[in-house]
């Protein structure tokens, strides 16, 4: 917390850092487990589309995946950010999370998942890995979210850098987890948890970008926090 004369450390807030880690970790779990379960329930329809109408199947998978990511991750992140950036509109932040996630799902994740389904691959594994990739695939989402922060903090362009470093670290951690899985089979259940290490870097960036000295000097936004 802030102490008199400790101007260089005004960005640090241990409680908020812990809160950010917690909500991102919970959102990650909900997206991976809940999203994969949702897709598992809908697998019959998706499988039929994957075989006969690949384009529609990709669109369906992408919309479901991006909607879960935008609704869960976007809303929960906003609830933390608004404590430091009161003028940030929830609708703007959720849309800034959903739209690039939709692009990522449409172009990268959904086609691979649909092809796996069409070839008789494991449905749960396909979508679980898809949600894992979507959470750590941050550069495009970071660019969109940085735009949402413009006008609220003078450090808004650095949110893009935050997403790149978080993605790079999370993706590397995931690959290390997969390598360990091939060496120690008992770690199979733990592999998807490795990208959580990236949230440590993400939390530090969040505190610095939304620090008091950056937000007090930013032009005031007239947007309503409810969106």
For residue range 161-212, list pLDDT tens digits in order: 888 888 777 777 767 766 776 666 555 555 555 666 778 888 999 999 999 9
CA distance 188 to 200: 23
Number of domains in the chain: 1
1 located within any domain? no
Tell me the pLDDT tens digit for each residue of 147-171. Answer: 999 999 999 999 998 888 887 777 7
78 located within any domain? yes
163 located within any domain? yes
136 located within any domain? yes
222 located within any domain? no
**Domain of residue 73, residue span:** 13-215
Tell me the pLDDT tens digit for each residue of 97-155. Answer: 999 888 888 887 778 777 776 666 555 565 556 656 655 566 788 889 999 999 999 99
Whole-prediction pTM: 0.75
Confidence check: pLDDT of 10 > 80: no
- Is residue 210 within 8 A of residue 153, CB to CB? The reply is yes
3 conformational bin, left if phi > 0, alpha if psi -120 to 50, beta if neither: beta
- Is residue 131 within 8 A of residue 32, CB to CB? The reply is yes
Give residue 106's Cα distance to chain centre.
16
34 located within any domain? yes
CA distance 168 to 191: 16
7 located within any domain? no
Q: How confident is the model at residue 29 (pLDDT cuts 50, 70, 90)?
A: confident
227 located within any domain? no
């Amino acid at each position: 917390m802030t102490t008199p004369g400790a101007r260089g450390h005004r960005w640090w807030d241990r409680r908020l850092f812990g809160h950010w880690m917690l909500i991102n970790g919970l959102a990650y779990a909900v997206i991976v487990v809940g999203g994969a379960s949702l897709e598992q329930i809908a697998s019959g329809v998706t499988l039929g589309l994957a075989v006969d109408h690949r384009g529609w199947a990709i669109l369906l998978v992408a919309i479901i995946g991006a909607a879960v990511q935008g609704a869960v991750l976007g809303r929960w992140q906003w609830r933390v950010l608004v404590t430091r950036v009161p003028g940030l509109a929830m609708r703007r932040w959720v849309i800034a999370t959903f739209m690039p996630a939709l692009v990522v799902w449409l172009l990268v994740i959904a086609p691979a998942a649909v092809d796996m389904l069409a070839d008789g691959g494991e449905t749960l594994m396909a979508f679980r890995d898809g949600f894992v990739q979507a959470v750590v695939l941050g550069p495009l989402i970071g660019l969109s979210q940085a735009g949402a922060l413009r006008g609220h903090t003078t450090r808004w362009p650095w949110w893009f850098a935050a997403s790149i470093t978080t993605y790079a670290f999370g993706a590397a951690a995931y690959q290390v987890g997969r390598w360990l899985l091939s060496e120690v089979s008992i770690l199979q259940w733990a592999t998807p948890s490795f990208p959580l290490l990236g949230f440590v870097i993400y939390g530090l960036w969040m505190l610095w970008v939304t620090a008091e000295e950056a937000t007090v000097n930013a032009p005031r936004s007239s947007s309503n926090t409810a969106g």
